[in-house]
Amino acid sequence: MEIPADLGFRMPAEWEPHDAVWFSWPHPDTESFPGAYERIPQAFGALVRAAAEFEPVRVNVRNAAEETEARRQIGKCDNVQFFPIDSDEPWCRDHGPIFLVNDRSGEVAVADFEFNSWGRKLPRWELDRRVPEAMARQLGLRHLVCPVILEGGSVEVNGTGSVLTTRSCLLNPNRNPALTEEQIVRNLEQWLGVRNVLWLGDGIEGDDTDGHIDDLTRFVGKSRVLTVREDNPEDPNHAVLEENWQTLRALRDEDGNPLDIVALPMPERHRDWQGHRLPCSYANFLIVNGGVLVPAFDDPRDGEAASIIGSVFPGRKVVPVDCADLIIGLGSIHCLSQQQPAPPRT
């Protein structure tokens, strides 16, 4: 088996230049939006339009009819391309590939990890599992296959050697029960090209991924992170996020530098029509070429969160995207997207 790090590959930081950003169009057979699917295509179309303002967008669709519907919802937009790639669910961050870059050769490759629907949370993932190979084939990129389960939303890199993740997800026995922590760390080093694995604890309430890092803490620089905090001590997220905050204070980047930690607020407690808590998080933003797409939840803290995110990305345009309907699927902007990096200059 080819080991990406041995070949010179690494997972780039999200703020490095993109060739495009990918989405998988949601369809009526999805399990992700019970009782609410009719509102999703319009919201998804608005998200695609927002991304296309900054860079090319590539959308996976099941067939010609779905492409027609997607075009109708997106509207006139010259920066969107469609690919005949089927999926079970729309969460491209997790069923899609993790793209790698090689700074020596200028190559971009597809890392194809195993996927089991977040520990068998949903009944079907056979189509999702084949998306990375199909994308690699459509793009003509090298296809590197890893037998270990790993979702894109569970890892966050600074591009220079450090990765943030959570014990509650990567060490969960519903993913890779036969692997030890040391083996999982080695897998991250070999496949993402990192040398410094930074562990946080649990995820936020309502997150059915067992604690994806992209709802908690995001790198915004080599040693700088944004992390969500809950200021209401009665909220179940308060203790979990305070523990993560204290953990971050003790962590160091790959060169031994302490992390510069910037706090993001949490939205108020939003619930769906069934009374379940929704995992609304402003950390689920997407960095694009020249901009940042920030989730908005029709919440009093939307503006504050967008302002904080803008302050750590000077020169990038901050665009709030309405995710009040999309979050019913228990994810928002970052969960639904996957960036394809530009080839590095050699």
Active-site annotation, residues: 335
Say if CB 293 and CB 284 are below 8 A apart.
no
Measure the CA–CA gap between 328 and 322, rounded to whole angstroms: 12
Three-state DSSP class for residue 228: strand
- Element at 44 (helix H, strand E): helix 40-52
Record the tokens describing residue 231, joined without a space: 């200021």
Give the count of beta carbons closer than 10 Å to the beta carbon of residue 300. Answer: 10
Task: Using alpha carbons, list the distances in angstroms from residue 178 to 91, 94, 168, 209.
Answer: 26, 21, 16, 19
Say if CB 263 and CB 227 are below 8 A apart.
yes
Residue 272 buriedness (CB in 10 A; 0-12 / 13-18 / 19+): middle
Long-range contacts of 311-315 (CB under 8 A, 24+ apart): 311/262, 312/220, 312/221, 312/224, 312/226, 312/262, 313/15, 313/220, 313/287, 315/290
Write phi, then psi, for 286 (nearest 5 degrees).
-125, 125
Question: 80: which strand partners?
Answer: 57
Measure the CA–CA gap between 152 and 131, rounded to whole angstroms: 13
